[in-house]
Amino acid sequence: MLNRKSTLSAVLYHAFIIGLGFIMLYPILWMFVSSIKPEAEIFQNAASLIPSDIKWENYAVGWEGYGQYDFGLFFKNSIIVTSLVVVGTLFSSSLVAYGFARLTFKFQKFLFACLLGTVMLPVQVVVIPQYILYHKLNWIDTFLPLVVPAFVGGAAFFIFLMVQFIRGIPRELDEAAVIDGCSPFGIFWHVILPLCKPALITVTIFSFMWTWDDFFTPLIFLQDTSLYTVALGLRGFMDPDAMTAWGPLIAMSSLSLLPQFILFLFCQKYIVKGIATTGIK
């Protein structure tokens, strides 16, 4: 009797979770399916997840982009920006975090409090003067405003994350390295950094995901179409004044998400762990 009851509740449970999960996933599935639907069917048979005919043309047409710019260029731009941001974030967050977590210097506590104060600072408050600054430096319409902040610790959150991680590494390891005649940089490079691998992976994944996804920063600092990232390229596609070519737009949207989905597929353990322990949004 009890057994039957628990089987029933298990069936209900799984049915409910899968049903709701399907509704959750539906919009994303819909996008991938629509990207291979014949153009007319996107609207005539909008709710359906089964295309009557598989057409890959949307990808070919979408890839052409508009004007003289194709999506190959936008992807290239996105890859350049994202990889530079990731490198810059790894560089600045590890170096600075080691300084705060392990070294002693004047005003250390005060400066660390400043760092924490900026973790949640709304970008809207600094973006206008930053725009003016970059404008005066002639950086508008270059990748510099997107990339340089990463090298100077622009994402304070990652520094904080690394500080927390380094604090968890036993100090005896540093002391042993000092006895062996290691300099502070030597300790950082040979002892701390190799042990930080899990934290560095988390930083890599999230800075990649956020930069790839980012629409706001490129929107403000890039005007020249030849510099557009994928996000801006897509937006140019959905111009409300022109007739939106939905098929190609959806195809390119699907393609734009591919790197993130691939990363999620291979790194979901790190992603889930990273969110759970650090609260990354």
Q: For the purposes of burial, counting CB atoms within 10 Å of the CB of 67, is it exposed (0-12), middle (13-18) or buried (19 or more)?
A: exposed
Number of residues that bind other proteins (CB under 8 A): 90
94 to 153, contacts with other proteins by CB under 8 A?
95-96, 98-100, 103-106, 108, 111, 114-115, 118, 120-133, 135, 149, 151-153
Among 1, 5, 27, 243, interactor with other proteins by CB under 8 A: 27
Using CB under 8 A, which residues numbered 4 to 23 contact other proteins? 10, 13-14, 16-18, 20-21
Query: 95: how many CB neighbours lie within 10 A of its CB?
Result: 15
C-alpha 149/C-alpha 111 separation (Å) is 18
For 38, counting Cβ atoms within 10 Å of its Cβ (0-12 exposed, 13-18 middle, 19+ buried), the class is middle
Q: Select from 62-70, 74-82, 196-204, 244-252 the region that touches other proteins (CB under 8 A).
A: 244-252
Q: How near is the Cβ of 1 to other proteins at its closest, in Å?
A: 20
Residues 6+ apart with CB under 8 A from 43: 246
E-assigned strand segments in 126-253: none
| C-beta closer to other proteins: residue 20 or 173 | 20
**Shortest distance, position 83 Cβ to other proteins, whole Å:** 18
C-beta neighbour count of 32 within 10 angstroms: 16
Identify which range of 60-68, 77-85, 172-180, 250-258 contacts other proteins by CB under 8 A. Answer: 250-258
Q: What is the DSSP letter of 66?
A: B
Residue 235 lies near other proteins (rule: CB under 8 A): yes
**Separation of alpha carbons 195 and 172, rounded Å:** 13
Applying CB under 8 A, does 268 fall inside the site for other proteins? yes
* CB of residue 55 to other proteins, shortest distance in Å: 17
